[in-house]
């Protein structure tokens, strides 16, 4: 079978776009019809809102990522900067504030409907609480913070109980503010759907285990959007099911992201949204494929792991509390290293790119040590590059690529 690099994302890509647009339209329509609107940090367990009849949620980080991927991130961020918000603040926050202050103008989906409640979660970053506080003060909208202790070691039972108690308080707050009744069994259903979706997600990521890899991490970055916007829904399960099947068919047809795959790389950091296409293309031209990323393999896993933390019908709020650290940012260095070592071996990786991101202190400010320790422990060639996940003005392409080229050479040297 001839292998080609004409990896066709047409069907998957079109369906993804359709999915994102439909979700945005559904959100706006339901908000217009009087649904109770909650803005949440990406790690807030959205399945809880399924317990109410008419509560919808929006994720400003996800909206900011969309703006960045569509090339309007810097322009939206500038609107916040002109109002005095420092260029050193996380670019997601600047994009969101700029868009909100300008009434949604400039956003590919015209911004997000005004919230009735803000719920931030400091496990991703404490910055998110400060960012949502700006909206809270600006609009007089209540703001609930979920306080999740940072994990230097695996989450302790006392911490799970602390988080679960806050989730129960959150349910009470939403019930009180929205005047709606809450049914835990509906949350149970939503959690089952989420778990089924995450199982498919892991299957999708595992398509990178083949040689050449059946996917690129750049595909998994964009395919994260529905996991954020449609959590707990059956349509998310259906979407991911088709994605997995379709990608398998492409592999069977001999279509790969990088058919001439000479370098299998792992990415540590947030997706570089404005650079996705170009970065993928330039790397592919050299036979390099970023096949896995900590940003995507962490989803659905406990701290230090990459396997799915499955739901087995237990009390859903306890399960959601336990899964609160299923992203990289709330995890300490030892746990990040443990998960990365698993990923390096699971995906048979040749080298690691640490994407140091001045916008995101939580993700970045341990990478120097993390890189040193991965190098020593595995050992494997590693490189650190400077990016900003959403602000294209802070990215120097040629400087980054000269490092990446030297890095690919170092992989060759290591092989020799």
Q: What burial class does residue 326 get, using C-beta atoms within 10 Å of its C-beta: 0-12 exposed, 13-18 middle, 19+ buried?
A: buried
Taking the C-alpha atoms of residue 392 and residue 275, their distance in angstroms, rounded to an integer, is 8
Collapsed DSSP state (helix, strand, coil) of residue 326:
coil
Binding of residue 364 to another protein (CB under 8 A): yes
**Residue 84, binding choice from ligand SF4, another protein, none, Cβ under 5 to 8 Å by partner class:** another protein
Taking the C-alpha atoms of residue 391 and residue 411, their distance in angstroms, rounded to an integer, is 30
Q: Which residue from 12, 50, 55, 125 is in contact with another protein, where contact means CB under 8 A? A: 125
Taking the C-alpha atoms of residue 303 and residue 166, their distance in angstroms, rounded to an integer, is 20
Contact in structure between 375 and 106 (CB atoms under 8 Å):
no
Q: Which residue from 58, 258, 362, 385 is in contact with another protein, where contact means CB under 8 A? A: 362
Binding of residue 83 to another protein (CB under 8 A): yes
Q: Tokens 């090339």 label which residue?
A: 71
Binding of residue 132 to ligand SF4 (CB under 6 A): no
Is 264 or 394 the residue whose CB approaches another protein more closely?
394
Binding of residue 65 to ligand SF4 (CB under 6 A): no
Binding of residue 385 to another protein (CB under 8 A): no
* Terminal alpha carbon distance of the chain: 30
Q: Which stretch binds another protein (CB under 8 A): 52-60, 119-127, 197-205, 250-258?
A: 119-127
Is the previous residue joined to 88 through a cis bond, with omega within 30 degrees of 0? no
Binding of residue 147 to another protein (CB under 8 A): yes
Q: Which residue from 131, 201, 204, 218 is in contact with another protein, where contact means CB under 8 A? A: 131
Q: Which stretch binds another protein (CB under 8 A): 4-12, 125-133, 243-251, 312-320?
A: 125-133
Q: What is the CB-side half-sphere exposure of residue 267 using CA atoms within 13 A?
A: 29
Binding of residue 367 to another protein (CB under 8 A): yes
Taking the C-alpha atoms of residue 300 and residue 241, their distance in angstroms, rounded to an integer, is 16
Query: Which are the contacts of 376, defined by CB distance < 8 A and separation ≥ 6?
Result: none
- Partnered with residue 266 across adjacent β-strands are 292, 352
Smallest separation, CB 320 to another protein (Å): 16
Is 39 or 85 the residue whose CB approaches another protein more closely?
85
Residues 100-129 interacting with ligand SF4 (rule: CB under 6 A): 124-125, 127-128
Q: Tokens 């909208």 label which residue?
A: 141
Collapsed DSSP state (helix, strand, coil) of residue 106:
coil
Is 365 or 414 the residue whose CB approaches another protein more closely?
365
Q: Tell which residue, 143, 164, 198, 202, has the closest CA to residue 48.
A: 164
Binding of residue 255 to ligand SF4 (CB under 6 A): no
Taking the C-alpha atoms of residue 104 and residue 113, their distance in angstroms, rounded to an integer, is 9
**Residue 3, binding choice from ligand SF4, another protein, none, Cβ under 5 to 8 Å by partner class:** none
Binding of residue 311 to ligand SF4 (CB under 6 A): no
Residues 260-289 interacting with ligand SF4 (rule: CB under 6 A): 270
Q: Which stretch binds ligand SF4 (CB under 6 A): 174-182, 355-363, 369-377, 394-402?
A: 355-363
Taking the C-alpha atoms of residue 163 and residue 26, their distance in angstroms, rounded to an integer, is 30
Contact in structure between 144 and 118 (CB atoms under 8 Å):
yes
Phi-psi region of 106 (alpha: psi -120 to 50; beta: other; left: phi over 0): left
**Residue 358, binding choice from ligand SF4, another protein, none, Cβ under 5 to 8 Å by partner class:** another protein
Taking the C-alpha atoms of residue 74 and residue 54, their distance in angstroms, rounded to an integer, is 34
**Residue 110, binding choice from another protein, ligand SF4, none, Cβ under 5 to 8 Å by partner class:** none
Smallest separation, CB 370 to another protein (Å): 9
Binding of residue 373 to another protein (CB under 8 A): yes
Binding of residue 122 to another protein (CB under 8 A): yes
Q: Tell which residue, 57, 33, 55, has the closest CA to residue 44.
A: 57
Binding of residue 138 to another protein (CB under 8 A): yes
Binding site for another protein (CB under 8 A): 83-86, 88-90, 93, 122, 125-127, 129-131, 133-134, 137-138, 145-147, 149-150, 152, 158, 162, 165-166, 169, 332-334, 356, 358, 361-362, 364-369, 373
Binding site for ligand SF4 (CB under 6 A): 61, 90, 92, 124-125, 127-128, 270, 329, 359-360, 362-363, 389
């Amino acid at each position: 079978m001839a292998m080609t690099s004409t990896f066709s994302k047409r069907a998957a890509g079109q369906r993804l776009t359709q999915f994102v647009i439909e979700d945005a339209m559904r959100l706006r329509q339901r908000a217009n019809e009087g649904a109770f609107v909650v803005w949440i940090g990406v790690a807030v367990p959205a399945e809880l809102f399924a317990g109410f009849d008419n509560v919808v949620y929006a994720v400003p980080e996800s909206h900011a990522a969309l703006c960045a991927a569509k090339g309007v991130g810097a322009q939206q961020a500038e609107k916040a900067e002109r109002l005095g918000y420092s260029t050193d603040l996380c670019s997601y926050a600047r994009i969101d504030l700029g868009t909100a202050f300008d009434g949604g103008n400039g956003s590919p989906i015209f911004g997000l409907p005004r919230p009735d409640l803000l719920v931030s979660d400091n496990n991703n970053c404490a910055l998110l609480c400060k960012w949502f506080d700006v909206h809270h003060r600006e609009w007089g909208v209540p703001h609930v913070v979920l306080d999740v202790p940072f994990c230097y070691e695996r989450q302790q039972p006392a911490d799970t109980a602390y988080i679960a108690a806050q989730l129960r308080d959150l349910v009470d707050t939403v019930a009180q503010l929205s005047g709606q009744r809450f049914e835990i069994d509906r949350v149970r259903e939503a959690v089952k759907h989420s778990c089924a979706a995450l199982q498919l997600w892991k299957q999708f990521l595992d398509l990178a285990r083949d040689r050449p890899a059946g996917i690129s991490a750049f595909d998994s970055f964009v395919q994260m959007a529905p996991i954020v916007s449609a959590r707990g829904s059956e349509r998310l399960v259906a979407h991911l099911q088709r994605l997995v099947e379709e990608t398998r068919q492409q592999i069977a047809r001999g279509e790969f992201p990088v058919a001439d795959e000479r370098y299998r790389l792992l990415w540590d950091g947030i997706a570089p949204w404005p650079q996705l296409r170009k970065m993928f293309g330039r790397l592919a031209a050299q036979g390099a494929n970023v096949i896995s990323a900590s940003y995507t393999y962490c989803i659905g896993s406990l701290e230090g792991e990459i396997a799915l933390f499955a739901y087995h019908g237990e009390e859903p709020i306890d399960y959601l509390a336990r899964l609160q650290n299923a992203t990289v940012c709330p995890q300490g260095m030892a746990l990040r290293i443990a998960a990365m070592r698993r990923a390096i071996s699971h995906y048979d990786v040749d080298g690691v790119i640490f994407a140091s991101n001045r916008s995101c202190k939580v993700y970045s400010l341990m990478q120097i040590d993390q890189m040193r320790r991965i190098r020593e422990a595995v050992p494997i060639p590693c490189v650190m590059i400077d990016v900003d996940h959403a602000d294209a003005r802070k990215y120097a392409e040629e400087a980054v690529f000269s490092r990446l080229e030297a890095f690919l050479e170092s992989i060759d040297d290591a092989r020799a």
